[in-house]
Chain A
Amino acid sequence: MSNNILEMNEIFKVYPEGVIANRNVSMDVQENSIHALVGENGAGKSTLMKVLFGITPFQGGSIVYKGQEVSFSNPREAIAAGIGMVHQHLMLAPDLTVAENLILGMEPRKGKFFLDSVEAEKICRDASEKYGLAVPPEKKIKDLPIGVRQRVEILKALARNAEILILDEPTAVLTPQETEVLFKTLDGLKGAGKTIIFITHKLSEVTRVADRITVMRDAKDITTRGMEGLDEEKIASLMVGRDIRTERIAPPDSIGAAKLSVRDLRYTDADGVEALKGVDLDIRAGEILGIAGVEGNGQSELAEIIAGLISPESGTVTLDGESLLNLTPREVRESGIAHIPEDRMENGVAEVATIEENLIVDRYYKDKYSSRGRLNWKFITDKSKDLIERFNILAKNSKSNVGFLSGGNIQKVVVARELTSNPEVIIASQPTRGVDIGSEELIHNLLKEARDEGKGVFLISADLDEVLKLSNRVIVFYDGQITAHFEDASKVKDVDLGPYMLGLKKEEAASGKMDS
């Protein structure tokens, strides 16, 4: 007799735009195990879990849960049946306390209308003790670090008697140290009889905690099996269908003088939060300077200030000695800054516009693209076809809407535009987020090429592997400040960065300045 708690058979799912996310995918999950669901971005992992959790309908196949065929039409039904999901972007109300978040939707009441907050905190404390997950019940979510927030989310699912816990890329936002704590938690939960499905594309994590694994590629399941005989390399080749290299790129041969200099930069956002508390750094010609740090520690604000999208409170930003502050975004671009923005759908592209229109937003007014106010569509189309080919953008033609492309190809549109504007300095914010491995490699190579051409590249990434793979110099951001500066990135390992990312350690007077 099998001890499968869950079987998904031949799941077929097409999105309304016609994208097939799951082609007859099957997987089975054994009770009381940690099951890793791996695959590249866009392989269909998250979709499969959304199907299971009742977030999105599917068109073919069946789900058998505890021996019975089920089909949840919304998450509430899935939760009632004992399935819990912790999303990548945590679904917590930041202004409520931990206890209040925990009991959301099942509030204990005093009388008919009033929340019994004493009882709520008790529920929270009981659950916390039962599963050995320490959380502060009376603290507000917004005051907690991300690792603890995630713990609250897990506890929230457990408090609803989840037997299967689905974690969607839980480590994407965690430091190595926090990740370690999460894995201990998962081991503990397994000990308590729970089943865990956890989505990831980080292979070291799989070999570290998983009992069994399902590998997906290109919307299909490649295999579901036990972990015996598998190592990271084998999983990687299953994932991409070929061998990949993860080694660091060679450091640059020659590095020039400082191009972009930031001095004592301070910024307070509209909510009064001090996002930057005096940042100094230099980016030199021909180098890649990486910023490591948990997201939300001021990196985005720094990028936006340099690009001229927001104005700092004080401090200076200069390119070759010329100030960039108080310039319009167009003037900043014309002086030689290119910017791959962190949120491509928000800043990077207009979804409903065509690929051509997206590719020319920074140059449509320039010679050849237009003359005397009239757009030269023929030239624009030719140029766009060129870029589509050079940057390997998979699109039917240059007049398709960008919104119809996959995430990786949308990112390639952004990268194609930004890298061909002949910049001096490139700010790359999360350049490969949500991008498939093939595109990731391409983008990495392009950044390296730009570096070798003598451009200064400023790499901001939440993915430590990426930072360490590309950068020759690394600084760490925590709480709007630089907490460490490693001049030779080749001597750095990801665990070295963790304490600085968490603010546990701080170098004396750390800055990213280079003496020249």
Chain B
Amino acid sequence: MEKWILKYFTLIRVMIALIIGVAVTILMIYLISEYPGESLKYFFTGPLASKGRLFNIFEMAAPMIFCGVAIAVSFQADQFNLGAEGSFVIAAAVGTAFAVSTNMPAFIHIPLVLIVAGVTGAVWSLVPGILKAKWKASELVSSLMMNYVAFYFSLFLINSYFRDKDAGFLVSLRLPETALFAQFIPGTRMHFGIILAVIVAIAAYYFLYHTTSGYEFRQTGYNKKFARFGGINIIKVIIMSQVLLGFIAGVGGMSEVMGIHGRFLWQAPHGYGWDGIIVAIIGRSHPILIIFSSLLLAYLRVGGQVLNLMGDVPAELVNVIQALIILLITAEAFLGQWKYRITRRQAEKEEAAK
């Protein structure tokens, strides 16, 4: 039993963190709500109550998966780049501009728009990478600052040149049909981009764990001096990791436009990049786990929406719960004493067996 606990310790720790998070949620709902029973039901089973809401989870998870995987790839190379947000937005803007100004058959248009967006994101993300590799400028600071530049430049581009003047509010022109993802389940917004997100996650997993470049990424992330000592070109790795981050986030941004909205409509920062950081951390930077952590976060979000809509608990609550769960999961020393005690008992047992 104890051996088993040690083996799956990380998983068990995450589960316990979740259980505590849920327990606190229940407690808070009881304190705030007039009808706690109803409210709990809305929050926990609400997301599963209808087809629309259920698929809402998947729709919401897609951009999280894109951004989470993008960030995980750079985390694995030990780059703390916050630029997923910027790449996501600017790629969506430039991709939208490209899509509305070109006209070609769908089977060329869709991949081409995605590539334009991805490359835009990659080039954008390259800047902090070069600054870091050449002058040791902290990628954290430069990427954060560039997020603002990206967002407001995107607004300028869309609002000044590609604005839909017939719409009642500030949005871009609608993408031509040839550049839209098909929505394949009637009554939902399930679109091809969601499948693409999963494919990207699997591809990233394969890249990191089964290719020589992925090996270079991870060794550089584990210990830069060791990687350099062994002959790995760590400058190349640092730059490549930023490029990949920007590319994946960029494709994610465009996929959101092509699958859900059909146009660029963000007038205030949405925070996709930050969601990406959250799911990357919960998923321990492992692309496959990130699919699940994204679904979890999306589930919590949808539950919060339902609760807000139907019950009497404000949506802000869900943010509190999220923060708490993430805090517990990321606190590596959480339950560390427990683990230590088990380790010790195991060691003593092995000792006695000798």
Q: What is the bound-complex CA distance between A334 and B351, given in angstroms?
A: 46
Q: Is the CB of B223 within 8 A of A350?
A: yes
Interface residues of A in 216-256 (CB under 8 A from B): none
Q: What is the bound-complex CA distance between A329 and B344, given in angstroms?
A: 42
Judge if B5 is at the interface, Cβ distance under 8 Å: no
Judge if A133 is at the interface, Cβ distance under 8 Å: no
Binary A-proximity of B129-166 (CB < 8 A = 1, otherwise 0):
00000000000000000000000000000000000000
Give which listed residue, A307, A349, A364, contacts B212 with CB less than 8 A: A364
Judge if A18 is at the interface, Cβ distance under 8 Å: yes
Q: What is the bound-complex CA distance between A13 and B351, given in angstroms?
A: 12
Interface residues of B in 211-231 (CB under 8 A from A): 211-215, 218-219, 222-223, 225-231
Q: What is the bound-complex CA distance between A365 and B216, given in angstroms?
A: 10
What number of residue pairs across chains A and B have CB atoms under 8 A from each other?
A: 87
Interface residues of A in 369-411 (CB under 8 A from B): 370, 373-375, 377
Q: What is the bound-complex CA distance between A59 and B344, given in angstroms?
A: 9
Interface residues of B in 227-274 (CB under 8 A from A): 227-233
Q: Which residues of B contact A362 (CB under 8 A)?
A: 230-231
Size band of the A side of the interface? 35 or more
What's the minimum C-beta distance from B251 to chain A, rounded to whole angstroms? 21
Q: Is the CB of A18 within 8 A of B212?
A: no
Binary A-proximity of B186-229 (CB < 8 A = 1, otherwise 0):
00000000000000000000000011111100110011011111
Give which listed residue, A329, A349, A375, A377, contacts B231 with CB less than 8 A: A329
Q: Is the CB of A347 within 8 A of B212?
A: no
Interface residues of A in 1-38 (CB under 8 A from B): 14, 16-20, 23
Judge if A330 is at the interface, Cβ distance under 8 Å: yes
What's the minimum C-beta distance from B271 to chain A, rounded to whole angstroms? 31
What's the minimum C-beta distance from B53 to chain A, rounded to whole angstroms? 40
Assuming the contacts A373-B212, A374-B211, asked whether A18 and B231 have C-beta atoms less than 8 A apart, the reply is no
Judge if B348 is at the interface, Cβ distance under 8 Å: yes
Binary B-proximity of A337-355 (CB < 8 A = 1, otherwise 0):
0010100001111111100
Size band of the B side of the interface? 20 to 34
Q: What is the bound-complex CA distance between A365 and B213, given in angstroms?
A: 9
Q: Which residues of A contact B (CB under 8 A)?
A: 14, 16-20, 23, 59, 307, 309, 328-330, 333-334, 339, 341, 346-353, 357, 360-362, 364-365, 370, 373-375, 377
Q: List 9 A-B contacts (CB under 8 A).
A: A16-B336, A18-B346, A23-B351, A309-B229, A346-B225, A348-B229, A349-B223, A357-B218, A361-B219
- Give the top 9 A-B pairs by smallest Cβ distance, nearest first: A330-B231, A361-B230, A350-B222, A350-B223, A347-B229, A18-B343, A350-B226, A14-B344, A18-B347
Contacts A330-B233, A349-B223, A375-B215 given; 17 further ones with Cβ under 8 A? A14-B343, A14-B344, A16-B336, A18-B343, A23-B351, A329-B230, A339-B229, A350-B223, A351-B223, A352-B222, A357-B219, A361-B226, A361-B230, A364-B215, A373-B213, A375-B214, A377-B210
